Amino acid sequence: MADDLIFVNHLGQVLSKEMDIEAHRSGNLKMTGINILEQRIRLLDRVAVTITRVNLSGIFGTPFEGEFWYTRVWQNRIGTWQIVSGHCCSVTHGT
């Protein structure tokens, strides 16, 4: 993750790299299961965009389980791919 990461979580909260790491470190966010369902990658010069649909379970204050989409923007900085931006949203299935 880039030091200047900007991430928007499924609650619409804007997080920095340190805030994201602290959520895991503190135990407030703990993943207990992850299953990648679909992934797409688009390469653009020194930038890559990925979208990934996952089934997640864990604890974020309270237990959760569901499908989520993650979008990540990666940038090649001095030969290293780093996440510079990300976004997460829950998947809803229409009836």
pLDDT in tens, 51-63: 999 999 998 888 9
When the pLDDT of each residue in the chain is averaged and rounded to a whole number, the result is: 92
pLDDT average, residue stretch 20-44: 92
Q: What is the pTM of this model?
A: 0.84
pLDDT in tens, 60-81: 888 989 999 999 999 999 889 9
| Three-state SS sequence of 24-83 | HHCCCEEEEEEEEEEEEEEEECCEEEEEEEEEEEEEECEEEEEEEEEEEEEEEECCEEEE
Read off the pLDDT band of 40 (50, 70, 90).
Answer: very high
